[in-house]
Amino acid sequence: MLTDTLKSFPTFLRGFGKNQGLKQLESQLAAHPRIYLTALTPLALSGYLLLLLFPLSSVLLIGQIVSSWTLQNSLSMPIATLIQFLAGIAALGFSLPLFNLHFKTPEGQTLDNNNIPALAKIIAELCQRYHITRIENIILDNSADIRIINSSKLAWPFKGKHTIIIGIQTLLCYSPAQFHAMLARRIGQASGRDHFLLLWLNSLNKTWQQYDTALNQASLLALPLAMLFRLYSRLLQMASQFAHQLYELAGDRYALDVTNDQDMAELFSQTIITENFLQTKYWPKIKELKQRTLAADYLPYTNMSKVIRNGLLPKDIQNCLKQAWHYPDARLQQPSLLTRLHNIGYEKPRPPGRLSKSAGTQFLSKAIFTQIIEDFDSRWEKNKQSH
């Protein structure tokens, strides 16, 4: 399956390399994905060794002294033993922040399942379909994507609580069917049904990044380990780029369980075009309006669906799809459009239709959805005033 998926990967990989040597390396990785994943696994597992480095060093250094301790040699401790003892105490001190480390909690608005029965129902149905534990929390943030995080500090994706974070822009800019497919992608990925190794590697990568962030915000005692994790997480992130793309392609295949290839191809195009429009035109225009007192009443989230419905020009759509055809989209962290289409057995890009009904109006009651949009507009307004 992996080899078939990567038939068009050399084209995708060219977007990452500029010199001939790197291109050759990328071509080899594309031709031998299993070898690449096998080589990546020990690097990803090395994070556990980093976590044990100082605690284990402390136990070994101090334990060796204690095991050979006698009253006689305690009165005349050699300088080497004294240095070893001090090193053990230092290692113990550097270990202490690990026992009081807190990962950053997701930001956003937590939704009560009782207030969102339709959305909670469809998420529960997808969890049942893909055989994963139920989603504990549903959070809305201001992003344009859907993602699932796991609370396990040991990077084991089948333990800990799952939290799904839904970008408000996905409810405003995508149709109900497209939103359903986007949910299926992420929940299918979290199941690891057909790609356990990819799921685990992705979980390890994200967890070590969380340790990197948490350690850099901890006390000074965490500084040595924080520096090591910063170097390690950056290295792993670079080495895992291809694994991440494989993980995303697996998500596309999971979504085919709830939609067909034509609608999936349309979703690819819609994602590329929407992200490009929001990042290059909509939000820059909003930032420009921030500077104008006459436009103080403009509400970006209230107007977003209408602008998406009327503001996507055929020329812009064509240019976006052409640009994304051979090269990966860095903003979306997705493979090229060509690679994604080949992955689901489709050949040509399918331009999206005009948005007639947003996902939010389908899966949320009118009162709840209106209140959510007003809350996001209110936070945007407060942020504008603070600047």
| Strongest mean pLDDT among 64-78, 196-210, 291-305 | 196-210
Across 268-291, b (16+ Cβ under 10 Å) vs e yields bbbbbbbbbbbeeebeeebeebbe
Q: In DSSP terms, which residues pair with 334 in a beta bridge? A: 329
More confident of the two residues 32 and 340: 340
How many other CB atoms sit within 10 Å of the CB of residue 382? 9
Q: What is the arithmetic mean of pLDDT over 306-316?
A: 84
What is the average per-residue pLDDT within 242-248?
A: 90
pLDDT of residue 289: 76
Half-sphere exposure of 265 (CA within 13 A, CB side): 17
Task: Kindly state the average pLDDT of the residues 260-283.
Answer: 92
Query: Mapping DSSP to helix (H, G, I), strand (E, B) and coil, where does residue 192 land?
Result: coil
Distance separating alpha carbons of residues 72 and 262, to the nearest angstrom? 82
Angle at 140 between CA 217 and CA 260, to 5 degrees: 120
The average pLDDT across 23-50 equals 82
Please give the pLDDT value at position 44: 94
Q: Which of 18-22, 298-302, 373-377 has the highest mean pLDDT?
A: 373-377
- Overall average pLDDT of the 129-154 stretch: 87
Write down the pLDDT at residue 233: 94
Instruction: Domains for the chain: give ranges and CATH numbers.
Output: 2-100 (no CATH), 109-240 (3.30.2010.10), 261-386 (no CATH)
122: its two tokens? 């469809």
Pick 96 or 312 by higher pLDDT: 96
The pLDDT value given to residue 19:
42
Looking at the DSSP bridge assignments, the partners of residue 149 are 163
How does residue 158 score in pLDDT terms, banded at 50, 70 and 90?
Answer: low
All residues at 6 or more sequence positions from 326 whose CB lies less than 8 Å from its CB, including other chains: 11, 12, 14, 15, 336, 338
Of residues 95, 106, 102, 38, the one with CA closest to residue 62? 95
pLDDT for 188 beyond 90 = yes
| pLDDT surpassing 90 at residue 168 | yes
Q: Is pLDDT at 38 greater than 80 in this prediction?
A: yes
pLDDT above 60 (res 13):
no
pTM confidence score: 0.85
Cβ–Cβ < 8 Å for 359, 352: no
What is the C-alpha separation between 135 and 149, in angstroms, rounded? 10
